Chains A and B, each alone.
Chain A
């Protein structure tokens, strides 16, 4: 069954290496390989999607480089975002046509739903905000974003995916206007639960996310 989802944990992987990994998975999927969810963590990196605006980068690239933050322009939708340790990144290499849902809007909603389910399993109440892509903490006030989503399509095969803040140092986002949303604050699972950002919590988050996608895309 080509529609089976194969989930792989890749550990910490530099952005460029992960990109190659994604491209290899894409090529395999095109040859009839499985749909994949690649779960991993990136060292500090800032990526700019196709609709990124330069002013959403708050620090000069030279400054970032000096601090060891890489900078990439990426063929995905969306604006600028940060990835780093403690953030669970999921790359979904999924053939939408083979799943009978060639609709990118529906696909984005489906990723959001799986993340909301995973967060629910961790006792974090999350929701969508109509008109915005991503997952936010439930409740009123200023929107607090916990997961970002940005996918690209090659034909009907989707790649890139989501980044869920499990236990990152949220200062990583200070260099950018996340996803171009200046009135949105970034938060994390640890912050939402009011607990320490431990490795154990990161691993629980990873388990919950894998389980939710396994159910959603099995």
Chain B
């Protein structure tokens, strides 16, 4: 069961509110009456409390957006199953049947001491536990011992005797019913190098109480892409501090009119994309790819915009972003993120990006370096926008002002791009944002 938290009717003449700050995040457990969100109206700043205890299932309106009275803000899952459910479905049999792995069994002593995982492995492989040489603490048979005794491929791993991670789980078959049979969470070995590395460094043996979720196809794809990118491309990171005061002023001035004219919220993201596109025109080295031993600078600018969805990260592409006005960019980004969230993206929406902007948002994100979206050579990652004291000259005197500051982090591929153009590009993005000369 879930309850929906809406913006209450705060007063006769209060028609809408702007989400100032979320005080909870998705997945948080909340008590009844715990403040969830700060909403600003033209009259008051109001904290909306939780109507019921439960778990925040979804936050429906991001910070900075305006909602009409009665608009839905968040969904709270109530009742017993709200939090516990995914945990239980992850490994039902384990929870029910298996006592501790790595702890003493509490029941009557078995003839052969063995971990539950080893028993299961032995049963599956048809191995008699009594015939297996035990290496576990207290002379217990571990799963690795079972594998070794049947001459499994994993024997190399098992030979790291005594190490805490020596136990190698059995190779998963096809993950047909993964939830019923917790296997490895990591993707299968894809080449010999991976298998060798695993053998050398070991990997985690699942323990009682662990929650095991097989990777979704999208998760696997993302994982592979990340590993490939890091392996292929030497990443260098550089950060700029950007004063968004000018952009904030333009945004505040225009957002109402913008919503009326285009039916869209005006966020910071299109401003950043717009500045990025203009800077890419001046620094084509960042709008490039490495093709074997050549560097290809592209004429067209297609900007990938990283979007978090329920299913994970997707990066739909705004095509010909350099031909779009700020409003056009805002509309394109809005359309793509809506379709990403409702799973209506087509394969074409995800293809052909020449540069990427990532906006992970949320609090606690000062800055961070994104992994380059291959085969591109650069990615910009937006940090949180926070008011900070900065030094600015006022009437010839240095003074401390409070300004909205964002850290903008560029990761670039040092195969293709050197520090000077990369810094030049990042500085140009900063300049354009601080000049804040945007035509809507």
Partner of B399, one of A51, A62, A104: A62
Q: A105-113, A140-148, A164-172: which one contacts chain B?
A: A105-113
A5 vs B81: C-alpha distance when bound (angstroms)? 43
Q: B34-42, B189-197, B206-214, B312-320: which one contacts chain A?
A: B34-42
Q: Evaluate contact between A50 and B45: CB separation under 8 angstroms.
A: yes
Q: Evaluate contact between A75 and B12: CB separation under 8 angstroms.
A: no
Q: Which residues of B contact A50 (CB under 8 A)?
A: 20, 38, 40, 45
Beta-carbon nearest neighbor of B48 in chain A = A155
Q: Which residues of A contact B387 (CB under 8 A)?
A: 73
- B contacts with A, residue count (CB < 8 A): 30
Q: CB of A195 within 8 A of chain B?
A: no
Q: Please judge, given known A-B contacts A105-B14, A106-B11, whether A154 and B49 are in contact too, CB under 8 Å.
A: yes
What is the predominant secondary structure among interface residues of chain B facing chain A?
A: strand
Q: Please judge, given known A-B contacts A60-B399, A106-B11, whether A75 and B38 are in contact too, CB under 8 Å.
A: yes
Q: Which residues of A contact B11 (CB under 8 A)?
A: 103-108
Q: Evaluate contact between B399 and A54: CB separation under 8 angstroms.
A: no
Q: Evaluate contact between A105 and B46: CB separation under 8 angstroms.
A: no
A151 vs B45: C-alpha distance when bound (angstroms)? 7
Chain A 56-86 interface mask (CB, 8 Å, partner B; 1/0)? 0000111100000000010111000000000
Q: Please judge, given known A-B contacts A60-B401, A61-B389, whether A49 and B45 are in contact too, CB under 8 Å.
A: yes
Q: Which residues of B contact A151 (CB under 8 A)?
A: 43-44
Smallest distance from the beta carbon of A27 to chain B beta carbons, Å? 11
A49 vs B403: C-alpha distance when bound (angstroms)? 15
Q: Please judge, given known A-B contacts A105-B14, A155-B33, A155-B47, whether A77 and B401 are in contact too, CB under 8 Å.
A: no
Q: Which residues of B contact A106 (CB under 8 A)?
A: 11-12
Q: Evaluate contact between B44 and A154: CB separation under 8 angstroms.
A: no
Q: CB of B24 within 8 A of chain A?
A: no
Q: Which residues of B contact A104 (CB under 8 A)?
A: 10-11, 14, 41, 43-44, 46
What is the predominant secondary structure among interface residues of chain A facing chain B?
A: mixed
Q: Which residues of B contact A61 (CB under 8 A)?
A: 389, 399-402
Q: Please judge, given known A-B contacts A77-B45, A105-B13, A153-B46, whether A51 and B402 are in contact too, CB under 8 Å.
A: no
A106 vs B387: C-alpha distance when bound (angstroms)? 33
Q: CB of B245 within 8 A of chain A?
A: yes
A145 vs B41: C-alpha distance when bound (angstroms)? 22
Q: In chain A, residues 114-166, which have Cβ atoms closer than 8 Å to a Cβ of chain B?
A: 133, 150-155, 158
Partner of B12, one of A30, A60, A105, A150: A105
18 further interface pairs, Cβ-Cβ under 8 Å (given A50-B20, A150-B44, A153-B45): A50-B38, A50-B40, A51-B40, A60-B401, A61-B402, A75-B47, A104-B11, A104-B46, A105-B12, A106-B11, A107-B11, A108-B43, A152-B47, A153-B44, A153-B47, A155-B33, A155-B35, A155-B49
Chain B positions near chain A (C-beta within 8 angstroms): 8-14, 20, 33, 35, 38, 40-49, 245, 387, 389, 394, 399-403
